Amino acid sequence: MPRYKKASDGQWPGYPHLYINDIETLTIRQNKYVAEALVNNRKGRVVLLLDHDTYQKFLSTVHDRKGDISERNVNEAALEAVQAWMKKKSRSR
């Protein structure tokens, strides 16, 4: 009778803290975009619902500060706001 390996628990090794250097498969490491996708897919996400006026003000501010409203600039601005809020909250304790 053939022997079967134990079924995995379905989690990627290193989940949820996966860094590009943690990926051991050479084929995946050599493909920069696949490796980045694997790492980025495990990052935390926040979905923020904004009313239209607030959203337009946010995009306008991003445009004024960063030059355009590309995905990267919007994400950076939101991350900066979250980090500033966390820093402010930790100082007030």
Question: pLDDT, tens digit, for every residue of 1-55?
Answer: 555 555 455 555 555 677 787 777 788 778 888 888 888 888 888 899 999 999 9
pLDDT value of residue 26:
80
Residue type at 33? Y
pLDDT for the residue 50? 96
Averaged pLDDT, 54-83: 96
What span, in angstroms and rounded, lies between the C-alpha atoms of 35 and 13? Answer: 14
CA 11 to mean position of chain CA atoms: 18
User: Which are the contacts of 58, defined by CB distance < 8 A and separation ≥ 6?
Assistant: 50, 77
* Inter-residue contact 31 to 39 (CB < 8 Å): no
Residue closest to 16 by CA, chosen among 46, 39, 47: 39
Band the pLDDT of 63: cuts 50, 70, 90: very high
